[in-house]
A and B are shown apart, each in its own frame.
Chain A
């Protein structure tokens, strides 16, 4: 963090100003010393100290840090805030962020106490404390400013909000939290009371009310936040009954947020009657023309009232009819906007599904019989041309019984879609029908046990052996292909069909193929078998063809990125990813789609020695460098100054979460692995905030935005985007284990620069450092190794277990005591490591004979090969260190009583040999891959592999995208030649 050099304060002579700006530090020191003596001004002392800290001399560098600590310990007050600003600048990067609350924070408090009426200086001090997130100092300053300027209502609320923040902060002890909470509550309740009194007296000739009252929506939201957090249920009840601050009164003023906040609280408390009454008030609210207001037409409010009515209908049978009457009244209003009409129509369907009878059969004698199906059909008939229709009704369709959903998918919607398919509306409706059929086929309720106890598909009535009916999926695929073929071959030039129907149709066909690939237990993280790979490649080629027609289409692009990564075709994935331009703010939520495990598939792709690789990596990492530069962003100060108190509360929460984001940790783990695999130099892990801000107690938060992926599978099976992932998304456990493993590699692979002369003393310190770090790692690994199996791939788990075991082994060897019999324990661990290696090798190849199937499987197994490589590297490094340490012990104590027994030492050598055999095998596979993929025969073999047998999509698969796929694999295999194996 290199902060810009500040300007010296006004009044400083030009000579000193220019020397400071030019960075001419010896001159600054001399001049400042002179001025300090002549003028007896503390500011010049600070200038001198800060200039000294800019010198290259390591001792002088800490002059500002030493001065700050001295001021604090001696209880001195630096009255000049400009001087404190200078000290703060000079100690940046040298003073730990956590030390601010013990150094500069208290210095700023003292400065404000010394001049409480200097508002400008005091607010600058407050800002600094907030940006460094020193809430204790900030609270003291805010309280002083509030006392000094009682007529300034902003200062009152600054004081309240900082006190509230402090009361919830881990920086505060539990007993003080309670105290600050009560303080914040009393202060804001007093301000609210003043407002209520002023409102009550508004008609009388009352004196002008004090400005210290709650007025704005932001202040009201703060009032709710504080009372909710610190108040008793009675306090909250009092607030919602207030004639001024009740949610309904606020809603009538156009303040929807307060109402939504109250509804959320009622829901959490299970107070459904309160939810119902509040929503009823909101929904009854009309504007001057009797039209439904912007706020009241919100579907969220409708959902709340319907949910609430469902909960209270037994106790209050009238509630259902109240909802129905409200709906009927609103539907009869004239000139309703299409969006509001859609919301209310949808609310009517929701009401029937939630409040109507639920035990009816949806279809009788081939006709819709239940009220809910009839109501749903009514909605679909009205809205089927809306692009949102499918997602609007998907959950409702899933609630129908199998026959009801089947009726919609195979009877009602196909009837609506009759007509000329060159017409956009018809084509769009036909697509809706096909998507609904897909939803039905992926729903578990379409499988039931027949009379012979065998699983039967209720759609085609055939016996099925798997979770999905392959016959039905193939038929759906065929029908979609025929439709696709017919549209693409038609003469018409309907651009809307090309942009809005064809991409989704291609995705639907690809999904059918992918379901045939993934049928059976989830295979994520496992190498693809050739049958599955064939389906995946066909799907990828089809979608690539479609992407050529719809460049930048986000759904196609995201699916293709996943598919290519799964197939080991990472270079093509990078091409697709680059076009959709994921960068800056959205990288945190979308980055894992592309970057997660990429280093294990194509390490050379993101090499920092390559401009494109470096660009891609920079897109991922720069977001965190820019957004988390300071402990808190400057925008927090903007929020204070604008009186946006909900933003004051929201920004720190978000920044804390971003700091603990799994994507942030992943960005470091991926970068480090690439550097390791390619033998590139790295900066120290400990100096990276992505590493040093995370400890074992940190909970890393997974944030992935799957919103742009097509969500067409029924909720009873895994969404397609999860099936396509190479293993699960970055999780708290996996990220911790990845960082710990990188720390292990750094520790053991470190070699001091050649110019560095080691002394015996420094070697001893280095040795102690290694032993202590190993002990810490041994202690940390087990905390994250246990947990659900599906949080990482099998290969990853084996690798992490291996690193954990080797850490333990090394620690045990350091403390090895010949007098106690610990050899057995070590032997067990060595055997376990050999077993891990054997299992790791088993993860890779199923096809024994050289064939196109074997090549394709291997291309999709790069992740497992990397995990084998990393496991062998860890074992090799660890066992080498143990053997070196053993030699060192033997040299230290020549009595023969120290060090490992000979048979144990030979077991370590044997372990090393096993690891080396693994390395050779891995190198052999890469060499074999290179021969296969670069050969002239590869393309014809691949074509035959793909076109083998009859399949539904043959007629529309052009093979135009095959060269790009082959090129991508070849680039990857070439890139793998840069990987260092030992």
Chain B
């Protein structure tokens, strides 16, 4: 029995179902408050009947700094998924999908061109999840992560920068079909 609504600061006191999962990072309070302060409509939670938070998504809207306007890596006004988590016991119910859709709706309200996110190239489950929701790889950021999630012999891992056009990008100018062939370096990502 779950309900979706905006994040409230008290929700951090009900985060345990999500944040005790080893795959979910717990940040300093200021990190959560930053999203709540700047982009409250892009910080959504899923609450169970006991008031526990069983899923949440944190997003933001931004563009690259003006100084990079003429760079090939310049990112126009877009939305970004910073974190998406669903408690282990609440998975396989479509909560993640609804949270992403809610963020997309908010991204359209902000009139963004596209939504993007970063995912480890080894995280096949997450990649499949986003692909099912219409996201595609836009570029590969080489050695973006400092360590490899699955291979202890490797000391870095690539990130997939995945994107989906929002309503404003009606011609699909901000997505690519062959994004996996476009490699960039971490310093090209702002």
> Which A residues are within 8 Å of any B CB, using their own CB?
217-218, 254, 256-257, 260, 294, 298-300, 337-339, 342-343, 346, 386-388, 391-392, 395, 552, 554, 557-558, 580-586, 588-590, 623, 626-627, 633-636, 638-639, 642, 644, 646-647, 650-651, 653-654, 657-658, 703, 705, 707-708, 711
Contact = CB atoms under 8 A, between A and B. Distances in A.
Given A300-B3, A708-B17, 14 more contacts: A294-B102, A299-B3, A339-B2, A392-B1, A554-B17, A585-B12, A585-B28, A589-B16, A705-B14, A705-B15, A705-B52, A707-B17, A707-B52, A708-B20
A913 to B, nearest CB: 49
A387 B90 contact: yes
Contact of B5 (A256, A558, A623): A256
7 contacts: A256-B5, A388-B90, A554-B21, A581-B22, A589-B14, A644-B40, A646-B40
Contact of B49 (A257, A391, A635): A391
A694 B58 CA distance: 34
Contact of B26 (A256, A257, A552, A586): A586
Interface of A is mostly: helix
Given A338-B94, A584-B29, A653 B50 contact: no
Contacts, number: 161
Nearest to A393: B1
Interface in B1-33: 1-6, 8-10, 12-17, 19-22, 26-33
A634 B30 contact: yes
B22 A552 contact: yes
Contact of A391 (B1, B26, B39, B109): B1
A558 B19 CA distance: 13
Contacts of A636: 37
Contact of A294 (B6, B9, B17, B105): B105
Contacts of B21: 554
B37 A635 contact: yes
Contact of A339 (B5, B20, B94): B94
A740 B5 CA distance: 41
A654 B14 contact: no
B16 to A, nearest CB: 4
B50 A707 contact: yes
B136 interface: no
Given A654-B10, A708-B20, A299 B2 contact: yes
Contacts of A633: 29-30, 33
Closest 8 CB pairs of A and B: A654-B9, A707-B52, A639-B37, A554-B20, A300-B3, A635-B33, A638-B37, A589-B13
B181 interface: no
B15 A585 contact: yes
B135 to A, nearest CB: 18
Nearest to A623: B29
Contacts of A584: 26-29
Nearest to B19: A586
A482 to B, nearest CB: 25
A338 B93 contact: yes
Nearest to A634: B30
Contacts of A653: 9
B36 interface: yes
Given A257-B6, A589-B12, A639-B38, A339 B29 contact: no
B80 to A, nearest CB: 16
B38 A703 contact: no
B40 A638 contact: no
Given A586-B26, A627-B29, A705 B16 contact: yes
A241 to B, nearest CB: 25
B49 to A, nearest CB: 7
A586 B27 CA distance: 9
Interface residues of B, number: 53
Contacts of B53: 707
Nearest to B92: A387
B48 interface: yes
Contact of B32 (A217, A346, A585, A639): A585
A720 to B, nearest CB: 15
B183 interface: no
Contacts of B31: 585
B95 interface: yes
Contacts of B26: 581-586
Contacts of A386: 92-93
B57 to A, nearest CB: 13
B112 interface: no
Among B10, B30, B50, B94, which residue has the most Cβ atoms of chain A within 10 A? B30
Nearest to B6: A257
Contact of A650 (B8, B20, B22): B8
Contacts of A342: 93
Nearest to A504: B89
Contacts of A705: 13-16, 52
Contacts of A627: 28-30
A851 B12 CA distance: 47
A239 B30 CA distance: 35
B98 interface: yes
B147 interface: no
A391 B2 CA distance: 11
Contacts of B98: 294, 337, 339
Contacts of A634: 30
A644 B15 CA distance: 23
B30 A635 contact: yes
B101 interface: yes
Contacts of A395: 49
B41 interface: yes
Among A260, A387, A627, which residue has the most Cβ atoms of chain B within 10 A? A387
Nearest to A300: B3
A45 B179 CA distance: 60
Contacts of B16: 554, 586, 589-590, 705, 707-708
A711 B50 CA distance: 10
B182 interface: no
B52 to A, nearest CB: 4
A644 B48 CA distance: 26
A557 B16 CA distance: 12
Given A392-B1, A589-B16, A711-B50, A638 B38 contact: yes
Among B1, B26, B48, which residue has the most Cβ atoms of chain A within 10 A? B1
Given A584-B28, A705-B15, A294 B101 contact: yes
A346 B1 contact: yes
Interface string B33-62: 110111111000000111111000000000
B93 A388 contact: yes
Contacts of A257: 5-6
Contacts of B95: 339
A650 B37 CA distance: 9
Nearest to B36: A647
A638 B52 contact: no
B129 to A, nearest CB: 15
B55 to A, nearest CB: 11
A685 B94 CA distance: 51
Contacts of B10: 654, 657
B18 to A, nearest CB: 9
B106 to A, nearest CB: 9
Contacts of A588: 12-13
Contacts of B15: 585-586, 589, 705
Contacts of A298: 3-4
A635 B33 CA distance: 6
Nearest to A707: B52
A654 B4 CA distance: 21
Contacts of B13: 588-589, 703, 705
A403 B22 CA distance: 42
Contacts of B41: 217
B79 to A, nearest CB: 15
Contact of A388 (B1, B19, B28, B29): B1
Contacts of A657: 10
B91 interface: yes
Contacts of B34: 635, 638
Given A256-B5, A294-B101, A705-B14, A339 B93 contact: yes
